[in-house]
Every structure is written in structure tokens, then in C-alpha cells.
Structure 1
Amino acid sequence: MQDVSLRRIARLFKAHRLRLAVVTGLIMASSVLGMASPFLLREVIDRALPRQDVTLLAWLVTGMVAVAAVTAALGVVQTWMSATVGQRVVHQLRIDVFTHLQRQSVAFFTRTRTGEIQSRITNDVGGVQSVVTSTAASITSNLTTAVASAIAMVALSWQLSLVSLIVLPPALHLSRRVAKMRKEITALRQTELADLNVTIEEGLSISGAQLSKTMGAGAALVERFRLSSTRLIDLQMRSQLAGRWRMATMSVIFAAIPAIIYLSAGLPPTAGTLSIGTLVAFTTLQAGLFRPLMGLLNVGVSLSTSKVLFGRIFEYLDLPVEVDDPAQPVELPDPVRGHLRFENVTFRYPGSRTAAIDNICLDVPAGTSLALVGETGSGKTTIGALIVRFHDPAAGRITIDGIDLRDLRLADLAGVVGMVSQETYLLHTTVRENLRYARPDATDAQIEQAARAAQIHDVIAGLPDGYDTVVGSRGHRFSGGEKQRIAIARTLLRDPRILVLDEATSALDTSTERAVQRAFDELARGRTTVTIAHRLSTVRDADQIVVVDRGRILEQGTHDTLISVGGRYAALTA
């Protein structure tokens, strides 16, 4: 985890400089105005009461009430303004993290636990909320009050001021030690909290629940959750109690200072030099000084602790974007023809010593169909993933109508290339909204047309709520074949020029597969289609068939040509 500078944290408030300046002004005005109360109190004790001057007493008491009322009103306004700034900063920080993670490549989500990602956005950002909301105002308020109190104390008695400040060195030393303790505990606590989130996500998602029930692992999951929660409780308690005894000791010392002042005022060298009013006013100021001093020390501890959370947040914000929009994007021609080419493309997954695909060359003219066949792990799916730019090739280039995919905006590419994979994912919302996810402006008629083309309209129409039926978590309201056809309809709704079908009919029974295949055949007219399939019956009519083996092209040609050669393809069909 990286160490975060206070300067970087301060940059989060840059857009709110004017509002913070107003807050600072209000705090300073309130703190300075509050210093009038001890002096008014001194006048009450030393002048108004001994002289029984009712008029003066009334004015002094009125002044004390007015000071309290004005400072309270200023406090409400500055609290509202500082809280508004804090909430906006946290809101923007949460959006920035989510937006940046959305730009990450598929490889990032493959190697990162979902619960860990959720924890960074919710727990870590939420953890800094109180610090962001109140720290700036607290520092300004406490610092202004402390300075004003110190000046007023010196004005009353510089000798007693020196006595009051003897506790500062040990207080600073103790606060630094407490901050270090809490920083270490916070790092452990956030890691444990992320692990707890992972356990919740893995155990209570629909897929996790089904797995635990079929494996009889429910008791083990509960025990895992209990142990993680127990460790978290321990860390929370340690975080809350860290340094409490040390800070409590400082509170006792601070409380003893007034006694020392009274003793000093009564000693022979100083006896009679201070009026009772001055002594009362001084001790009032002294109490008002130690409160902001303790506040500043506690803020320092909280800020040091929050740097751990900021470090986890900035660690995600600093992640490099492996697959990003180009600095100078190129526009696709209008209309897009859909001519797809692989030119000596090589790709290796991170951490792998061998290439997933090696020196692949493909030419798929616009409107034609390409079928990729081969054994599991041969590299077929990787080729499909490169077409939709889940990854970028390590060597060579992939082009559409002569333009390198890396020169296109990701949004433009998504509008041209549509993919239906063997792993369908449906959102926990209605069928209609799942389909409209691909095209937010689609009309109900267009949605229904896409569903008919995917041979799923009759199934949806037969449901009690029709297209307004909620599909359930990950679409478990529907069978595998129904989910697959909904996913096909969703992709077709985008009307892409290039279709990538990665085992798109793998979850369908034979009769349904034939119906969907007829729909694909109709919709593929005028489109470039790349089909990845194990069932060779679905690719017999492709314009060209490529046999992939260990990341390389082994054979290439039409069905009849490859059968006549008697090579690997012929063996696969046997």
C-alpha cells in the first residue's frame, strides 16, 4: 500500500476553495468573538458585582448572551457549509473510483476478488467520509480558538500562560505514538473487512448459494464468516482503544493545570497581584485552550489513520488502464463495412510463459462468415476476446476496414462489434431493461423484434408480467437456453456490423439451436460473423473455417475443402 501525502489529499478540495474560504472566515470570526466572554466575565466579577452596578451588569450579561447566540449561529452555518463540501468531495471520490475501475481491462477483474473491489468503493471511501467532512473545519476551528485563547491568556498574565503550556511537549509525543498505533491497526482492519465482503459475496450470491448447498458447505461458510467477523471485532476494539489510556492521562494532566494556577496565584510572590476576576477569566480561557489543543491532537491521530484508507483508494485510482481510448481517436468510415483482419497477431496472458495465440493472420471480408474450431484451450476464445478488445495484442494488429482497433474509441468499437459468449450475464431487473441495456433509446417494438429474432419472444410473452418480468439474480429465473437467447436478443438490438458468437448456442437444446441458428443465418446477411464453436454442425456453411491448435492456425478453408484434405478438421467431424 502506498504512502499518501497530505498535499494529494488537499487537492481533493481544490474545486471548493471559495466555499472553504468562507467557512474559514466564519470559524475565525466565531472563535475570536468567543474570546470576548471571559473578559465580560471578568468585568462582571471585578466591577459590576462589587459596585452593584445593575446597568453595567445588564449590559455585560446581554453581551455574554449575544456572543453565545452569534457564535452558535455562525457555528450552524459553518457546519452546514463544511459538511456540504465534505459530502461533495466523498461523492466525487466515489465516482472517480467507480469510473476508473470501469475503464480497467477484463484481466484486472479476472485477478481481483469482487468483494475486494466493493470494499474499496464502499468501506474505504465511506471510512474517510467523517475525516473529509469535519477535519478541515475542525483544524481551522481548533487552531483559531487555541491561538486566540493563547493571546488572550498572555494579555491577562504571561506568567500563568507559561505554567499552562508545560503540558504541550508530552501531549505531542503521546499523540504521535497513538497515531502510529491506529494507523497499523486500520490497515489490518480494512484488509479483514475486504475479506469479510468476499465471504459475503461468495456465500450469498445465487451461484455461491447453489454451490454451498450442493457441496454441503453451509456450516463451513458460516464458520469462515464467524472467524472473519471475530477478527474484525478484535481489530475494531483495538482501533477504538488504541492510546486511550495515554490520552486519558493527558486529560487528567490538563484538568490538574487549573489547580496549579490557583496554587500559583496564592503563593507569596504572586499573592494579591491578580484580581479574582482575572483569575476566573484566565482559568476559563485555559479550559478553552486545552479543549482545542486536544481536538487538534485527536485530528492529527484521525488524519494519520485516514491516510491508510486514502492509500487504499489512491492505489486503485493509480492503476494503469491497460486497454484505453487512444489520445487521438480515428473515426470509422460511414457506413462501416465490417472488413476484419488479423495481421501477425500474438497475445500472451499476464504471468503465462507461452502465447495464447501466436502469429495469427486472418482476413474476413465484410459480410462473410468465419468459423473458429479446435479443442478446448486452443485459443479460439482469445481470438474473439481480442476482436472486442478485452485485451490488446502484444504484437501485430487487428483492423476493421483498415483501422487498428487501438485507434478507435472503445464506445465506437462497442457500437460496431457485438458479442454473445457462452457465459451469459443478466442484470437483476426486468427482461425489458436487460434488453434496453444494450440500447437505452430502443422502443418496445424494437425490443420485441430482437426477441423474435432470437426465438425468445413467445417465452417472454407467456410470462405473467411479460417483458416486465424480473429475471432474478444473474438471470436464474430462466433456463440456460432462455438466458442465452435473451443475451442474443440484447446483442442483436445493437445491430452490430460484426458479430462474435462464442459458443452462443452451447446452452440450447437441438431443436432450439436450429431455430436460433436460422435466426442467425438471416441476421448475418450483410454482416461479418465470427463463430467460435465446438459443435461443428453449426459451422458447416461458413465462408471459411479455421482450425486453431495451441494458438496457431493449423488448417483453413471451406468445409468441403477441409474434409477432402483429411486433416485435423476431418478428424474432428468424424
Structure 2
Amino acid sequence: MSDSHTFRPQGGGRRAQIEATGGRDGRDPRNQKADKRQLADAPVSLRRIARLFSPYRGRLLVVVGLIVASSVIGLAQPFLVRHVIDTALPERDSRLLLLCVAGMVAVAVASAAISVAQTLLSTTIGQRVMHRLRTDLFTHLQRQSVGFFTRTRGGEVQSRMVNDIGSMQSVVTTTATSIAANVTVVIGTVVAMFALNWRLALISLVVLPPAVITTRKVARMRYAVTNARQAKLADLHVQVEEGLSVSGILLTKTLGAAPALARRFEGTSEELIGLEVRSQLAGRWRMATMQVVFAAVPAALYLAAGFPVTSGSLTIGTLVAFVSLQGSLFRPLMGLLNVGVDVTSSLALFSRIFEYLDLPVEIDDPVAPHHLVDVRGEVGFDSVSFSYDGDHPVLEDVSLRVPAGGSLALVGATGSGKSTLAGLVARLHDPTHGRVLLDGTDLRDLTLTDVADAVGVVTQETYLLHATVRENLRHARPDATDAEIVAAAKAARIHDLVQSLPDGYDTVVGSRGYRFSGGEKQRLAIARTLLRDPKVLVLDEATSALDNTTEREVQAALDELAVGRTTITIAHRLSTVRDADQIAVLDHGRVVETGTHEELLLAGGAYADLVRGGLERSAAA
């Protein structure tokens, strides 16, 4: 019987899987209920938000000054119109007419220039703040442990990184400036209206509330329809992402599910038709009523101007200027009425970002790190216990020692703790009790960079970037030369295949490496790890995706490269583990046997049972 048979003990899987959900959460950024819940769960300090803008204090003052200047300059227009109508035209005063017309043009030019300058400054400040938040969040999330990513939906992380920070563009460049501009315009307009004619100002303020109330009702109606439409658009987006990705296409074709998916997509698209129509028609009658109210306001002003009681000494120029001012009051006033919605939405975005930025870093560099001058590669487990949740131990009191340059094979039933123990060597987790040692130093006393330089990991789940073969290999060591890349590829028995491709090492591997077979991806992963030349190799079923012939080739390369390195191997194939210096058998997180292949077979214990069980299944097959 060939030694390369497979023995796979019975048992339930416990390997932690990172669930990548992709897609967006379909959440409308102005969903008030969700925003208020978010703020209730994670309150936001306005002082903390202000600190984000503190480096740009001077520029912010300039922006505010520009807003005030623009609003004040804009209010000069109606007064110029009054002078033209009341004085320059009736008296045929050409000089005054030229001055007023020049003033109107100057006001327009100044307003446009100030608007451009304000937009440039506010956008620059906003982009700087977003850049800082985006970079800080990405860096902070990279420092999180693997446990965080196993607990969190991939789509949620992407949503906060991309959607929430992207939505902040309007928050930091529009919300604050629009509030300042609207307040300035409303106050200035009201003051100007009373300066022109206090009687007409009172009439305008009486007539205006019905228009405001009507507009608010229309906005609420459209808001409800828009929420439903956004949710349906999110469903459509998810269907596109799931149905047209590489994994989705493979699943659809192998299951013959294309017709069902097409019908589902058609149904969702059909529902969108109705929602879009409702969105366009929402509040049309109310808006028509509001237009009547708008038309009635100038009519009421003209009517008031016709009665001596209300007109007083009103001139035609004053009336025209007043109607112009009254017409420009509605938009900023509505903007201020919606401030509550904008502020709540803005604070909710900051809350979601701060919530992630405030996550504690479970595995971090020590305050006073110890640096190993020359790593030999001796690995030790000193009474190691580990639990993911604090209640159910995955490892209990494991004590093992692997001398520098030695090899350890971990075997046992699925879920016995092999991968968890190997993960502790790369410091993907820290032990709950006990110590994991590298050359006698606790890994927690070393920097994460030093651990990553000393320990290389190849797992059965190969992840390749959507980039060229060369870029994928250089991802492990950006300063690697082409010669070093080729040497690593040759050692992993993948160089000849890469060279045979039309673009060689510049071949794009495709999404998640789908242009390569499982075995080819595995060998690329091995080459990528070997390029770093680590002193300790952790091989977590690294050859599981290879056929017998390819496995023997790669195993021969690994055996040759293992000289002078410490190797910790997890495998279900006897040929992979039998030549290890030491074999440790795990059962429910405990080491129940240790020894060489021959010693453990002669002992007739758990290891012998595993081997015997594998042989019996192979014979039956």
C-alpha cells in the first residue's frame, strides 16, 4: 500500500472561517431610525469631531468669512434694483444707472469668485479629514486579530471603510458650510426685508409658514418612498454581485440555477419600476398646491402695496426689491428646517467610524519589545491553553518543544486543536494561559514584524491577489529581486508552469487566482512564503490540494528547504508526517501522544488507530 494514502479521522470541524459577504448593507445614509439607534449605542463627542478639524482652524475661519461675505454681498442686489427703478430710470440719471448696473455685475462676479474659493477650501479640508480617517481606520483594522474578522461580516467592514467615509464628503464639506450660509442668508434677508418695508415683511412672515408646512409634508412622503427604493436597489446590487462574480457564476452553472436567478432579478427590477414611478409622483398634488401658495405670496404683496394702510410710502422699486428678497428666503429657510436630519445623519457616520477606531487591539506590539539578534528557530509551547470565547477550551495544557531545525507534525481528529496550536506560533492568537516561545522568548515580548519575519505560514486556503504572478510573489517581500522570485518559484516547482504562460511572471492570476488550479495556487503560495526565507515554517495542510505526483515533488522541495529550518506540519496524509522528528497527537485540545512514527506505531495507541483507520478506509475504497 502506498504511503501517500490519506487518513482523515471522524469529527466535526472547528476551523475558524472568515465570512466574506461582500455587497453593501443597503442602508439609506439618511435613515433616521437607524442613525438614532447608532447614536444611542455609540454616542459621539462633538469635541472629538472638532479635534479632526483643529489642524485646519485658520482655513475654517477663512471659509466662514467667505460665507458671510458672500451672503452680505448678495443682499446688495435688491437695493441696487430699487435705486435703478425708483431713481435712475425715472430721473434718467445715466451716471447712477451705470453705477448700479456696474454694482450688479460686480456683485455677481464677487459672489462667483467667493463661491469658487469657498468650495476649494472646504473641499480640501474635507478631503484631508477623510484621508486621515480613512488611513487611520485601515491601519487600525489591520492591527485587529483574526478573531475580529471571524466575528464581523466582511461587507460591514467594507461599508464603513468605503460607504461611510465616502458619505462624509457631504458632511465635512457641505453640512457645516450650508448651515452657516443658510443662517447668514436668512438673518440678512429678514433684516433687509424690514429695512425695505416692515409692513410687507410682516405680511411675508405670515404667508410663509403654510408654504413651509406643505414642503415638509412632501419631503416626508418622498423620504418614505425613497427608503423603499433604496432598499430595493440594494437587493438588486446584491443579486448582481452574487450572480456575476466568479464564485457566483461557478455556483450558478454547476447548479443550473441561471433561470431561477434571472427570474428573481427580473422580479426585483419590476418592483423598482413601481417605486421609481411613486418616487416621481410623491407629493405632486401637494407641490402643485405649494406652487399656488408661492404665486399667492407676491400677489399678496402686490395687493398690500395697493392699499394705503399697508403701503405707506412704498415705491415700485422697493416693492420689486422686496419680492426678489422674499423669493430668495424660502430655500435657506427650508435648509435650516432640515438641519436636524442632516446633523443626526452626520453624527451617525462619525459614530460608526469612531466605533471601529475605538476597538481595542487584542494582539499588539509590547511596550518594550525584545529583539532577537539571530533567530535560530527553536519553538516551545509552555503549558499552553487557549479558548476563543473564554468558556470552551480549544487547547489545554500543551507543552512541546521543537529544536531549531527540527520538525514537528501535528495529527488528530478534525477539531482537535491542530490549526489553533499552529496559529499560536504565528501569533494569530495569544494563549489564554501559558507561553509560546521562540528561541526561549515569549512571542508577546517580540514585535509583530519580528514574528512575521521569523515565521512563515502556508495554509490549505490559498489567497491570491488579483494581480500578476510577480506581484503576488513580491507581496511577501516588496524588495525581492526577479532572480529571488524565480528561485522561490523553482523551489516550489512552479517556475516551469509560469514560464510556459504567454506573459510569464506578468500573467494576471485572475480573481482569487481562478486562472490556476488548486495545486498551482498552492505552489504559488509556497513560493511566496519561501521568498521571505523564514526560520520557522508552519505548513497547515499545505499540500492538501495537490495530487500524489505533484505532492511528492513539492514535498521533496520542502524537505530540502527544511534543512536548517524549524518545520511544524499539519497534515492528514501519512506520507507528509511519517518522517517528522516528532509527531504529536492531539485529542480535544490535549496532547495524548508524542514520538516518532515508528515509536507511536509500536505503542499501539491513538496514532496507530488513526493510521489503521485510514488504511482500512483506503482498502475499502
**Which one is further off, 39-48 or 174-183?**
174-183
Kept in 1: contact 2:189–2:329 (CA 8 A):
yes
Aligned to 2:162: 122
- Structure 2 distance, partners of 1:405, 1:169, is 69
Aligned to 2:516: 478
Q: Which amino acid aligns with 2:77?
A: S
Kept in 2: contact 1:186–1:305 (CA 8 A):
no
**1:393 corresponds to which of 417, 431, 435:** 431
Please give the per-residue CA displacement for 1:318-348, whole angstroms capped at 9, x wherever unaligned. 4x24533235151321112222222232223
User: Cα 1:234–1:519, aligned 2, differ >3 Å: closer, same or farther?
Assistant: farther
Aligned to 2:103: 63
Kept in 1: contact 2:196–2:318 (CA 8 A):
yes
**1:382 corresponds to which of 415, 420, 444:** 420
- Structure 2 distance, partners of 1:198, 1:414, is 36
Match runs of 1:303-318 below 5 Å: 303-306=343-346, 309-318=349-358
Matched, 1:447 2:485: yes
- Structure 2 distance, partners of 1:227, 1:107, is 38
Kept in 1: contact 2:499–2:505 (CA 8 A):
yes
Aligned to 1:530: 568
Match runs of 1:503-542 below 5 Å: 503-542=541-580
Kept in 2: contact 1:179–1:302 (CA 8 A):
no
Please give the per-residue CA displacement for 1:188-226, whole angstroms capped at 9, x wherever unaligned. 777766665554444333233212211112233344545
- Residue 2 of structure 1: SS of its match in structure 2? helix
Kept in 1: contact 2:377–2:566 (CA 8 A):
yes
- Residue 554 of structure 2: SS of its match in structure 1? helix
Structure 2: segments with no counterpart, 5+ residues: 1-36, 613-621
**2:202 corresponds to which of 153, 157, 162:** 162
Please give the per-residue CA displacement for 1:137-181, whole angstroms capped at 9, x wherever unaligned. 322222222222222222222333233223666677778878888
User: Cα 1:197–1:284, aligned 2, differ >3 Å: closer, same or farther?
Assistant: closer
Aligned to 2:83: 43
Aligned to 1:77: 117
**2:404 corresponds to which of 366, 370, 390:** 366
Q: Which amino acid aligns with 1:110?
A: T
CA drift of 1:449 comes to 0.9
- Residue 543 of structure 2: SS of its match in structure 1? coil
- Structure 1 distance, partners of 2:85, 2:452, is 79
Aligned to 1:437: 475
- Structure 2 distance, partners of 1:179, 1:220, is 38
- Structure 2 distance, partners of 1:347, 1:186, is 49
**Which one is further off, 6-15 or 67-76?**
6-15
Please give the per-residue CA displacement for 1:211-253, whole angstroms capped at 9, x wherever unaligned. 2211112233344545566677777887888778767766654
**Which one is further off, 306-315 or 22-31?**
306-315
Q: Which amino acid aligns with 1:372?
A: L
Please give the per-residue CA displacement for 1:290-317, whole angstroms capped at 9, x wherever unaligned. 2321333345544444555555555544
**1:285 corresponds to which of 310, 322, 325:** 325
CA drift of 1:272 comes to 4.0
CA drift of 1:546 comes to 0.2
Aligned sequence identity (%)? 62
Match runs of 1:171-570 below 5 Å: 198-226=238-266, 252-298=292-338, 300-306=340-346, 309-318=349-358, 320-321=359-360, 323-326=362-365, 328-350=367-389, 354-570=392-608
Structure 1: segments with no counterpart, 5+ residues: none
Match runs of 1:130-145 below 5 Å: 130-145=170-185
Q: Which amino acid aligns with 1:562?
A: L
Q: Which amino acid aligns with 2:257?
A: A
**1:2 corresponds to which of 30, 38, 52:** 38
Q: Which amino acid aligns with 1:457?
A: H
CA drift of 1:255 comes to 4.5
- Structure 2 distance, partners of 1:220, 1:25, is 60
User: Cα 1:68–1:250, aligned 2, differ >3 Å: closer, same or farther?
Assistant: same
Q: Which amino acid aligns with 2:370?
A: E
Match runs of 1:88-127 below 5 Å: 88-127=128-167
CA drift of 1:78 comes to 1.6
User: Cα 1:60–1:121, aligned 2, differ >3 Å: closer, same or farther?
Assistant: same
Q: Which amino acid aligns with 1:380?
A: K
Kept in 2: contact 1:183–1:308 (CA 8 A):
no
- Structure 1 distance, partners of 2:458, 2:445, is 24
CA drift of 1:370 comes to 1.0
- Structure 2 distance, partners of 1:478, 1:91, is 36
CA drift of 1:187 comes to 7.5
CA drift of 1:437 comes to 0.5
- Residue 557 of structure 2: SS of its match in structure 1? helix
Kept in 2: contact 1:421–1:502 (CA 8 A):
yes
Q: Which amino acid aligns with 2:469?
A: V
Give RMSD over aligned pairs.
Answer: 3.2
Kept in 2: contact 1:428–1:475 (CA 8 A):
yes
- Residue 270 of structure 1: SS of its match in structure 2? helix
- Residue 494 of structure 1: SS of its match in structure 2? coil
Q: Which amino acid aligns with 1:349?
A: Y
Please give the per-residue CA displacement for 1:497-550, whole angstroms capped at 9, x wherever unaligned. 211000111122223222222222222222221101111222222221100112
- Residue 127 of structure 2: SS of its match in structure 1? helix
User: Cα 1:227–1:342, aligned 2, differ >3 Å: closer, same or farther?
Assistant: farther
- Residue 539 of structure 2: SS of its match in structure 1? strand
- Structure 2 distance, partners of 1:214, 1:53, is 86
CA drift of 1:425 comes to 1.2
**Which one is further off, 298-307 or 483-492?**
298-307
CA drift of 1:423 comes to 1.0
- Structure 2 distance, partners of 1:226, 1:302, is 35
- Structure 2 distance, partners of 1:415, 1:100, is 21
User: Cα 1:382–1:230, aligned 2, differ >3 Å: closer, same or farther?
Assistant: farther
Q: Which amino acid aligns with 1:275?
A: T
User: Cα 1:406–1:218, aligned 2, differ >3 Å: closer, same or farther?
Assistant: farther
**1:24 corresponds to which of 64, 67, 75:** 64
User: Cα 1:197–1:283, aligned 2, differ >3 Å: closer, same or farther?
Assistant: closer
- Residue 362 of structure 1: SS of its match in structure 2? strand
- Structure 1 distance, partners of 2:495, 2:299, is 85
User: Cα 1:540–1:187, aligned 2, differ >3 Å: closer, same or farther?
Assistant: farther
- Residue 531 of structure 1: SS of its match in structure 2? strand
- Structure 2 distance, partners of 1:481, 1:82, is 53
- Structure 1 distance, partners of 2:166, 2:572, is 47
- Structure 1 distance, partners of 2:135, 2:256, is 39
Kept in 2: contact 1:183–1:304 (CA 8 A):
no
User: Cα 1:252–1:343, aligned 2, differ >3 Å: closer, same or farther?
Assistant: farther
User: Cα 1:338–1:566, aligned 2, differ >3 Å: closer, same or farther?
Assistant: same
- Structure 2 distance, partners of 1:460, 1:179, is 60
CA drift of 1:464 comes to 2.2
RCO greater where, 1 or 2, for CA within 8 Å and sep 6 or more?
A: 2
- Structure 2 distance, partners of 1:408, 1:428, is 32
Aligned to 2:15: none
Please give the per-residue CA displacement for 1:330-385, whole angstroms capped at 9, x wherever unaligned. 132111222222223222334x9632222222222222211101122221111122
User: Cα 1:174–1:300, aligned 2, differ >3 Å: closer, same or farther?
Assistant: farther
**Which one is further off, 307-316 or 23-32?**
307-316
Kept in 2: contact 1:35–1:152 (CA 8 A):
yes
**Which one is further off, 175-184 or 515-524?**
175-184
User: Cα 1:93–1:365, aligned 2, differ >3 Å: closer, same or farther?
Assistant: same
